[in-house]
Amino acid sequence: ATRSDRARRHERDAALHGEGDARGAPRTRSRRVVRVARAPASRRRRDAPRIHLISTLPSPRCRPRPRSSNNRRASPSSRFPSVPDAPRFDPRARVHPMQEDWSDADVFEKNFYLEHPDVSSRDAAAVASHRAKHAIAVSGRDPPSPITTFEEASFPDYVLSELRAAGFPTPTPIQSQAWPTVLSGRDVVAVAETGSGKTLSFLLPAVVHVNAQPYLEPGDGPIALVLAPTRELAKQVHADFQHIGHAFKLTAICVYGGAPYGDQQRLLRAGCDIVIGTPGRMKDHLERKTLSFDKLRFRVLDEADEMLNMGFVEDIEMILNHAKDNEKLQTLLFSATLPKWVADISRRFLQPDHVTVDLVGDEKQKASAAVTHMLLNCQWSERTELVCDLIRAKVPGDGRVIVFCDTKRDCGELQEALQKELEKGAKALHGDVNQAQREVVLAGFRANKFQTLVATDVA
């Protein structure tokens, strides 16, 4: 072989084994993920290596950067002048003072709530009045009093700044009771209508909780777990977490069916703070041993009643049973209704002193107060014309519409009719649409490339 051939082989071997290049560059400490493929036999020389390098990808960094001094928790006396300084765990410090690593698993902090003086000063009558005004029913041993402003929630400054930037005026009813309860370390069953702000009710406490745990090493399992019934909901929760969690460089992975296993496995091996996903794909990763719950401390079941309706009962119970020690876990269960299975799950997997926050009551399913409902009777053959007339009359020029259908067949037929009748067109989304096309349709709908999305409720 010529000198240039030997040099090229040296460079390939160096890239594969992390030993520097042919010019003697020092070995780097960053781990490399290498993809290799066998060269075609017809093009392989006798002395050529049997594999050739396609690409090297730097491994995702697991440890976030050290926290800046600007993000450190203010003392209670500086935030609330009437509260004296007291030694307590700092939810804005990344590592527990007594727990520098995971070697002492018995040292586990779940209570990050510092009650605001305004909350402490409210008497029982004021608390009862707030709950009655918003139809909040609370059961459980000594539940915390509800809050009325974001500042009363004892959130870190970076969370408060995100809430202010989003333009939210005050906490929603479910948030006003759920935030102090979850931040206090209690297990929670929350029953509230769709669109009531349930996602932020568990997402913001999860950020505080995860940020308070020790660093993870590559290959460690997640600290927090969120289960959602559909891939779209899982991806939405993941996007919200990325938006809130970026301040402390927290890592989040979204796993769901229809996406390649390989990419998800590579990210899970690198280590992550939180995993968000659907029950089916989460179960697959547990069975393949690509997902570990050894460091799991915080888990959420979002839309638990929908998981029951979609047939995920066995998957959910397998995932919940996979955790080693329920005593060291904080579990939250959010649902729009409270069927028997959801109540049974709460008894089996939540702590006996868990708190139930119910905004639905005896109603089978409470509709959102922010939604206006209209019932129009028509013949089946007139439905397409009626839907077109409603869209033209009720939706402004730049508005968008979602039309729900019972079956995939109805969805496809209505979409074809609306595509012909409406100027801005319509697209369909149902169970027969593959994942790649789902991404295209949803991205186009968000970008206002078409006006009407026709979908089944399961899709």
pLDDT tens digits for range 16-28: 555 444 444 444 4
Averaged over 304-309, what is the pLDDT?
86
Instruction: Report the percent of the chain where pLDDT is more than 70.
Output: 73
How many contiguous H segments (helices) and E segments (strands) does the chain have?
A: 16, 13
**Rg (alpha carbons) of the chain, rounded to whole number:** 26
In terms of pLDDT, which residue wins out, 79 or 212? Answer: 212
pTM of the model: 0.66
* Average confidence score pLDDT of the chain: 78
Q: Which residue has the tokens 């609306």?
A: 418
pLDDT class for 179, splitting at 50, 70, 90?
A: very high
pLDDT class for 216, splitting at 50, 70, 90?
A: confident
Q: What is the spatial distance between Cα 425 and Cα 404, in angstroms, rounded to a whole number?
A: 16
In terms of pLDDT, which residue wins out, 373 or 287? Answer: 287
Structural domains in the chain?
3-58 (no CATH), 69-358 (3.40.50.300), 380-456 (3.40.50.300)
The secondary element (H helix, E strand) that includes residue 55 is strand 51-58
Residue-level pLDDT at 458: 62
pLDDT tens, 116-161?
A: 999 999 999 999 999 999 999 999 999 999 999 999 998 888 788 8
137, 173 Cβ separation under 8 angstroms? no
